[in-house]
Amino acid sequence: MLMTKPALDNFRLGLLFAVGSAFTFGMSGPFAKSLMEAGWSPTAAVTARLALGAVVMAIFATVVKPDWFREAIAHSKTVVVYGLIPIAGAQLCYYNAVAHVSVGVALLLEYTAPLLVVGWLWATTRRKPSNKTLAGVGLAVAGIMMVLGIIGEHGLAGAHINAIGIAWGLGAAVCAGFYFMMSDEVSSDGTGLNSITLAAGGLIVGAAAVALLGLTGIMPLTFTTNNVVIAGITTSWLVPVIALGVVSTAVAYTLGIRGVARLRPSFASLVGLAEVLFAVLWAWLLVGEAMTTAQAFGGAVVLAGLALARQGDKSGVVTAATWPDAGVVEDLSTARFELPPVALRTPDGSGR
């Protein structure tokens, strides 16, 4: 059935917002890498990004939803968990991965989160995924092996694997995967927590948590005022910090929220995969990182596998959630997932 003109306009606007969100989120890794090359620790870069982003998002939330803080307090458990794991955890792991491997490889590793969720659901529900989902998982795994050089002319012996970077990248995937499971859990309790409240509150919690890790010495917290090099131009450290906090956090989250609100979540999540492509492009333009032809082909295989796995998933947990970096469902209480007769169990083991 053809869409009416208002519906078509709404779809186009939502698509524009979603692509804009992926475009601006893709800047995050390259800007952070420029700071790290100037002497910043990953923890410091994450703290700067989340702190500035939290301030801007709090101002925006106050303007568009004056009661957001009261709502955040009322749902403090959800906001705190979201801030600690999908925001602080994912960003801290991702930036540490970026410190050891290229931006593109780090982001591809994080974007394997749906594969972890598929495995988790298979293990906990004893329900075998569809053949399409399994094919997508296999394709994505093969693509990751190409990106890492495991599948290549010289096989494993010719691979250049940075174990620390890969471990951090997979840690980011675990944190992002937690968001999928958390979205299902939150949507089932009928709280109706608004996405703007969740984003603003989560950023505040995330910024405080990462800063605390640095101040207590658990993670190295090193800031410098050295100039940074971006796109071959030497400039002040303030440029990437402001870009991280305002453009690739506050603006990106706002665009993501508006995009998801106008698109089907499953479609919006597929559009979110464009973040990987934009991140690779920004890494090349801003910090001179380029993927090899083999890595680029492997990356395309990964994205194709993820898209196939999402299309084949029937539980809704994988297909209805976006990544924490791509915005959240406008009203989590309405993000009801159609489940098969076998009850889906949440991470704590409770059924719905």
Q: Whole-angstrom Cα distance, residue 312 to residue 334?
A: 22
Q: Which residues contact 204 (CB under 8 A, 6 or more apart)?
A: 54, 58, 83
Give the model confidence (pLDDT) of 118-142 as tens digits: 888 788 878 888 888 888 888 888 8
Question: β-pairing, 228-230 with 233-235?
Answer: antiparallel
- pLDDT tens profile 79-132: 999 999 989 999 999 999 999 988 988 988 888 887 888 888 788 878 888 888
Rounded Cα distance, 74 and 159, in Å: 50
User: Above 90 in pLDDT, residue 234?
Assistant: yes
Q: Residue 314 — very low, low, confident or very high, per pLDDT cuts 50/70/90?
A: low
Query: What is d(CA 21, CA 39) in angstroms, rounded to the nearest whole number?
Result: 28
Residue that is written with structure tokens 């993501």 in the block: 256
Question: Once rounded to an integer, what is the mean pLDDT over residues 235-262?
Answer: 88
Do 198 and 327 contact (CB within 8 A), yes or no?
Answer: no
Percent of the chain residues topping a pLDDT of 70: 77
Query: Quick one: pLDDT at residue 321?
Result: 47
pTM (predicted TM-score): 0.80
What's the pLDDT band for 165 if we cut at 50, 70, 90?
very high
User: Residue ranges of the domains in the chain?
Assistant: 15-325
Minimal CA–CA distance to 338: which of 328, 352, 350?
352
At residue 240, the pLDDT reads: 95
Q: Within 10 Å of residue 349's Cβ, how many Cβ atoms?
A: 7
Q: Which band of pLDDT confidence, cut at 50, 70 and 90, is reported for residue 52?
A: very high
- Angstrom CA distances, 237 to 19, 197, 210, 249, stand at 27, 30, 20, 17
CA distances from 148 to 116, 155, 197 (A): 18, 10, 38
Contact between 341 and 126 (Cβ < 8 Å): no
Choice between 281 and 145, residue whose per-residue pLDDT is larger: 281
Q: How far apart are CA 122 and CA 54, in angstroms?
A: 36
Distance, in Å, from the CA atom of 92 to the CA atom of 286, rounded to the nearest integer, reads: 21
**Token pair for residue 340?**
């098969």
> Which value, in Å, is the radius of gyration of the alpha carbons in the chain?
19
Query: Is residue 21 within 8 Å of residue 255, measured between CB atoms?
Result: yes
Following CA atoms 157, 29, 327, 130 in sequence, which dihedral angle do they give, to the nearest 10 degrees? -10
CB atoms within 10 A of CB 328: 29
